[in-house]
């Protein structure tokens, strides 16, 4: 089956221009992000994208009548049309009392023991609301675990938080003592 480059371009634009947090991407000040994490997230989107490669992204760009994206040195960015407020500026700010993080069951067990760490990214991504955390978590598992983070208490204890945009907050790390598993029925457990 031939690759649908129009659909791919729309999804890449959504990831790079409008909702990088939904794809767990970090954009620098110029909008660049590494290609490999983007490819990992795209491969989970659709069955026919499982073998997606950098060459497919290059082909997507070359087929476009408007040059919407560019690739350079293993990184990709959207050239225009960003709707991301503040471009993920990393200014320390006071977080809401509660934030959320969606993940897979196996990773949730590790997080409960070790806390949230940025792993291969610069920051831990946290959602303002449960629906966003669920949407992000579904990129990792069909039945994600939603973690509730006591961000206000963590900030009181000196943990740094940064406002990313209207749906995401960032943190350097969050110790396990500030994290609880949120049960499906909404009670803490």
What's the Cα-to-Cα distance from 1 to each of 4, 35, 126, rounded to whole Å? 9, 23, 37
The string of DSSP letters for 35-48 reads HHHHHHHHHHH-GG
Sheet holding 75-78, edge to edge: 33-34, 75-78, 69-72
When pLDDT is averaged across residues 144-150 and rounded to a whole number, the result is 96
When pLDDT is averaged across residues 167-171 and rounded to a whole number, the result is 86
**Exposed, middle or buried by CB within 10 Å (0-12, 13-18, 19+), for 13?**
middle
- What 3-state class would DSSP assign to 109? helix
Q: What is the pTM of this model?
A: 0.61
* Residue range 95-135, pLDDT digits in tens: 999 999 999 999 999 999 999 998 766 789 899 999 989 98
pLDDT winner (highest mean) among 13-17, 156-160, 181-185 = 156-160
CB 87 within 8 A of CB 147: no
pLDDT recorded at residue 98: 98
Domains for the chain: give ranges and CATH numbers: 5-84 (1.10.10.970), 89-182 (3.20.170.30)
Quote the percentage of the chain above a pLDDT of 90: 60
* Residue range 39-62, pLDDT digits in tens: 999 998 888 999 999 999 999 999
pLDDT recorded at residue 71: 95
């Amino acid at each position: 089956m031939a690759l649908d480059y129009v659909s791919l371009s729309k999804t890449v634009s959504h990831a790079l221009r409008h909702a990088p947090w939904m794809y767990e991407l970090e954009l620098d000040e110029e909008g660049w992000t590494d290609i490999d994490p983007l490819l990992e997230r795209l491969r989970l989107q659709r069955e026919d994208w499982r073998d997606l490669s950098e060459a497919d992204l290059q082909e997507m760009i070359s087929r476009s009548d408007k040059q919407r994206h560019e690739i350079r040195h293993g990184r990709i960015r959207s050239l225009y049309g960003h709707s991301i407020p503040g471009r993920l500026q990393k200014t320390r700010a006071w977080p809401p009392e509660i934030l959320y993080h969606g993940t897979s069951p196996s990773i949730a067990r590790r997080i409960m023991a070790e806390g949230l760490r940025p792993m291969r990214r610069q920051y831990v991504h946290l959602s303002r609301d449960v629906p966003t955390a669920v949407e992000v978590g579904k990129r990792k598992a069909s039945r994600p675990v939603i973690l509730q983070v006591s961000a206000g208490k963590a900030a009181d204890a000196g943990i740094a938080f940064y406002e990313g945009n209207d749906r995401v907050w960032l943190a350097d790390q969050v110790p396990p003592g500030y994290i609880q598993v949120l049960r499906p029925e909404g009670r803490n457990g």
